[in-house]
Amino acid sequence: MGATVTTGKNNENVWGGGNEPMGASYGKLMMWFFIVSDALTFTGFLAAYGFSRFKFIDNWPIADEVFTHFPFMHGVEAPMYYVALMTFILIFSSVTMVLAVDAGHQMKQKKVAFYMLLTIVGGLIFVGSQAWEWKNFIKGEHGAIETKGGSIIQFVDAKGERVKLADFAVELPEDREQLTPSKGRWFMSEPTLPTYSVAEIQAGFKAHPELLVRTEKIYRDTKEDQANKALQPGLNKNKHREILTRAASETMVSNAAIVVEGANLERNEYGSKLFADFFFFITGFHGFHVFSGVVINFIIFLNVVLGTYEKRRNYEMVEKVGLYWHFVDLVWVFVFTFFYLV
């Protein structure tokens, strides 16, 4: 016997089929189930990121010093400007998706196609921008040194401004050969050789007595550090890294072990290794979602142009993919806030 629920004078068969829980179709309900489960996944990733950052808060890279590039503005520092532009583009694509869904409710095929196309273009720009940001993050700009103890040290001038390795490194008559599986012992290989060797960096640093070393340790605006900050006007307004004396800098450079250029899953020139790991994983996972959304939106766009939903007299598929797209945009707001702003 089917279970029944009494609602006034009528008896409704709950398990008889044909019902729409919460007034939503089966397709919409399944999309909401997927969004909730995916939201929990992103929550776990961001929670792990927050825990790791809190644990290593004294040496975590400063976002304003990492994401400083802007297309076609080589050499100009524009901290967070391009990331903010990417965020605006993605949020604007959410607006065009809303307009596409609204046009679908009004059965206006051409408007749905137009706004869907704008949404796709916005998504492609965002994915392309993220790939460009990855390229700069992986390549790096200034370079750094990893000491034998595993610490990352960067080079600065007397004003506290970063100095590139290329600006002071000395070319020595060294014969360096890339270790490949065919040439290495026991068929071992090694990562791509850096532009400069440790000896070349050490020689260049010795030849430039005005250079100093900056460590991973972060100082914040406290009364104890006001005097140090006043002597270094180029430092970040809210927090800055520890800059050693010349003697201490020479000691750190003498313990250099590896030249680090850019970032990868093993080490990065910006500081804590976990920072690069989380950056690649979280932004990459979100970028995969955006790319998937672009592909799905394109398929729906083709169906709109072909008149598939016009024949059905229903644009619910546009609304379903709209739910997914809004979710992807909302997730980026959290990623942007926790990863770039906080």
Under a CB-based contact definition with an 8 Å cutoff, are residues 56 and 274 in contact? Answer: yes
Band of residue 91 on the pLDDT scale cut at 50, 70, 90: very high
pTM recorded for the entire structure: 0.82
Output 218 or 269, whichever has higher pLDDT.
269
**Whole-angstrom distance, CA of residue 260 vs CA of residue 233:** 27
Q: What is the DSSP string of 269-305?
A: TTS-HHHHHHIIIIIHHHHHHHHHHHHHHHHHHHHHH
Under a CB-based contact definition with an 8 Å cutoff, are residues 315 and 104 in contact? Answer: yes
Kindly give the residue spans of alpha helices, DSSP state H, lying in 106-245: 109-139, 198-207, 226-230
Band of residue 105 on the pLDDT scale cut at 50, 70, 90: very high
Chain Cα centroid distance, residue 271: 16
Question: What's the pLDDT tens digit per position in 194-232?
Answer: 888 899 999 999 999 999 999 988 776 554 444 444 444
Q: Supply φ then ψ for residue 154, to 5 degrees.
A: -115, 160
Q: Are strands 144-147 and 256-260 parallel, antiparallel or unpaired?
A: antiparallel
Question: C-alpha angle 139/145/146, rounded to 5°?
Answer: 105
When the pLDDT of each residue in the chain is averaged and rounded to a whole number, the result is 85
3-class SS at 216? Answer: strand
CATH for the stretch 29-140+275-341: 1.20.120.80
Mean pLDDT of 37-63: 92
Question: What's the pLDDT tens digit per position in 169-197?
Answer: 988 876 666 656 666 555 555 567 788 88
**Percent of the chain clearing pLDDT 90 (strictly above):** 58
Burial of residue 305 (CB within 10 Å: 0-12, 13-18, 19+) is middle
Mean pLDDT of 236-263: 86
Under a CB-based contact definition with an 8 Å cutoff, are residues 82 and 69 in contact? Answer: yes
Q: What single letter denotes the amino acid at residue 201?
A: I
Q: How far is CA 305 from CA 110, 300, 316, in A?
A: 8, 9, 15
Tokens of 180: 């490949």
Q: Where in the chain is the domain with CATH 1.20.120.80?
A: 29-140+275-341
Mean pLDDT of 258-277: 90
Q: How far is CA 202 from CA 6, 78, 167, 173, 208, in A?
A: 84, 30, 13, 14, 10
- Backbone region of residue 289 per phi and psi (left: phi > 0; alpha: psi in -120 to 50; beta: other values): alpha
Under a CB-based contact definition with an 8 Å cutoff, are residues 118 and 96 in contact? Answer: yes
End-to-end CA distance of the chain: 57
